[in-house]
Amino acid sequence: MDFDEVAVPAEENAVNPGSPLRVLAEAAAPTTGPDTGTEHPGAVEAPAVSESPTSGPAVSVSPVPQPLAPTVNRSVPIRVIDPGKPMVALTFDDGPKIRTTLPILDTLLAYQSAATFFVVGIQVADNQVALVRMAAEGHEIGNHTFSHVELAGMLPEDQSAELERNQSAVASVIGMPPRLVRPTFGSYDQALRTNVQMPLILWSVDTLDWKYRDPARIVAAVLDSVRDGDIILMHDIYDSTVQALQTLVPELISRGYQLVTVSELAAARGIGLEPGKIFANARH
């Protein structure tokens, strides 16, 4: 398994004509759906992904291998990041999970914002459509191990196997592997730092959304402490987090924050994400 050792320029996360995702989309998916005069002639319509974002698992993904039709939403804007202005990185662990991840993606899309999703490998097969949307809509996808085991204390080869299985699972869906790792439980040891071929991403604001499952409390946890350069920890597997986002995203924007991916945050602040580096915030 190759790990990409190069820090990710922000623009590589966007869908662009030269990206592996676009190549995958054009190669794998015949054009379907009505011609709406799009300026993206290669774009294709995926099965209805976001029409009923809160109505449960309306989207089923066949286990039978078939050409993926990434959702290339024609309304996805090109985001412009001003490195001189405040920004924070929303991060979501433990998904993807269609029922909760898709409405979070809808909220981010509505506010032209991006986030980073640290996905668990075993979740990928049944939730591919969420992963495809993340990639198509400019979000960053990170590695949160294959089976959500704690890496610290494991044999180095077992650590590598957990991470590589995740890399393979993600790459099988979107055509490229993650370039960031969030260690499960925020736990790491020197063996992991030495052997991992990617930066280890922690956080500076912990919403404890997994513990309280209370939208108001999640919102308050962020707004009471957020500062420029924060990395905010949430989980895209809870309804309460979905609800919190609907308040949190517009409020953060109204306070002047740009919502960016982890790699965009690092790049904007001139922070290199070398393999083994611990990155928890870009506060000034």
Q: Does 12 bind Ni ion (CB under 5 A)?
A: no
User: If binding is defined by CB under 5 A, does position 209 make contact with Ni ion?
Assistant: no
d(CA 190, CA 23): 38
Catalytic residue at 235? yes
CB contact set of 6 (below 8 Å; sequence gap of 6+):
none
CA distances from 131 to 134, 139, 161, 223, 251 (A): 5, 9, 21, 28, 26
Asked if 94 touches Ni ion (CB under 5 A), the answer is yes
How many of the other CB atoms lie within 10 Å of CB of 19?
A: 18
Beta carbon of residue 160, minimum distance to Ni ion (angstroms, whole number): 19
Site for Ni ion in 166-185 (CB under 5 A): 184
The span from the CA of 130 to the CA of 63, in Å, is: 15
* Structure tokens belonging to residue 253: 């924007």
Residues contacting Ni ion: total by CB under 5 A? 3
Q: How far is the CB of 211 from Ni ion (least distance, A)?
A: 13
CA 34 to each of CA 30, 41, 58, 163, 166: distance values in angstroms, whole numbers, following the listed order: 13, 12, 21, 40, 36
Q: Judged by CB under 5 A, does residue 236 bind Ni ion?
A: no
Specify the residue, 45 or 94, whose C-beta has the smaller distance to Ni ion.
94
The first and second tokens of residue 223, run together, are 């707004």
Q: Does residue number 93 form part of the binding site for Ni ion (CB under 5 A)?
A: yes
Q: Which of 93, 106, 209, 236 is catalytic?
A: 93
Of 181 and 249, CB closest to Ni ion: 181
Taking the complex as a whole, the smallest distance from the CB of residue 42 to Ni ion amounts, in Å, to 35
Which residue, judged by CB position, is nearest to Ni ion in the bound state? 93
Range 16-75, binding Ni ion (CB under 5 A): none
Residue matched to tokens 């109204």:
254
The residue annotated as part of the active site, out of 40, 235, 236, 284, is 235
Tell the smallest beta-carbon distance from residue 235 to Ni ion (Å): 7
Q: Which is nearer to Ni ion, 49 or 205 (CB)?
A: 205
Residue 113 CA, distance from chain mean position? 12
Find the helix packing angle between 215-223 and 239-254, rounded to 10°: 30
Q: Using the minimum distance from each CB to Ni ion, give the nearer residue, 184 or 261.
A: 184
- DSSP 8-state code for residue 37: -
Q: Which region, judged by CB under 5 A, interacts with Ni ion, from 2-10, 36-44, 92-100, 102-110?
A: 92-100
Burial bucket for residue 253 (CB in 10 Å: 0-12, 13-18, 19+): middle
CB closer to Ni ion, 58 vs 208: 208
Contact by Cβ (8 Å): 71, 49: yes
With b for 16 or more beta-carbon neighbours within 10 A and e for fewer, the 123-157 pattern comes to: bbeebbbbbbbbbbbbbbbbbbbbebeebbebeee
Closest to Ni ion by CB, 101 vs 184, is 184
Pattern 182-201, Ni ion, x by CB under 5 A: --x-----------------
Name the minimum Å distance from CB 145 to Ni ion: 8
Q: Which residues bind Ni ion (CB under 5 A)?
A: 93-94, 184
Supply the residues annotated as catalytic: 93, 235
